[in-house]
Amino acid sequence: MEECVFCKIVKGEIPSEKVYEDDTVLGFKDINPAAPVHVLIIPKKHIESINDLTEEDSNIIAHIYLVAKKIANEFGLKEKGYRIVTNCGEKAGQTVPHIHFHLLGGRTFKWPPG
Ligand code: AMP
Ligand code: ZN
């Protein structure tokens, strides 16, 4: 996707503070952090939202959770707790139409979210 800001980050056309990278997944710090630890984990493949997932994306989504676990460990969140959030659609707060998983930690979170 040429216009997509996260695809541009994947291609290195926009700078990012990477914390994890492999063949299929990228993790980088959110530019406007909502918690002391706020990492975005994305598939390198452009998928707009959860609504656009297919069976063939199953492995990548499972892999993203294992990457989240690894990053959470590295940031010392294993015992402290953390939250993983994916907004789907504008009304749910999705502002970037490339599926992403917010890994949030380092503070206390309320439930339910606002
Ligand atoms: P969402 O509102 O769930 O779509 O989340 C999009 C997130 O992407 C927001 O938390 C933004 O702060 C973050 N974001 C947007 N542009 C960038 C960027 N260039 N680098 C890092 N994070 C970004
Ligand atoms: Zn994209």
Which amino acids are annotated catalytic?
Answer: 100
pLDDT, tens digit (0-9, with 9 covering 90-100), for 21-47: 999 999 999 999 999 999 999 999 999
Looking at the CA of 39, which ligand is closest? 1
| In the chain, domain spans | 5-105
Tokens 């980050």 correspond to what residue? 9
Ligand 2 center to residue 82 CA distance, Å? 25
Atom of ligand 1 nearest to the CA of 95: 4
Atom of ligand 1 nearest to the CA of 94: 4
**pLDDT at residue 87 greater than cutoff 90:** yes
Residue 21's pLDDT is 98
φ/ψ of 11, rounded to 5, equals: -80, -5
Confidence of residue 51 (pLDDT cuts 50, 70, 90): very high
Ligand 2 center to residue 87 CA distance, Å? 15
Assigned CATH for 5-105: 3.30.428.10
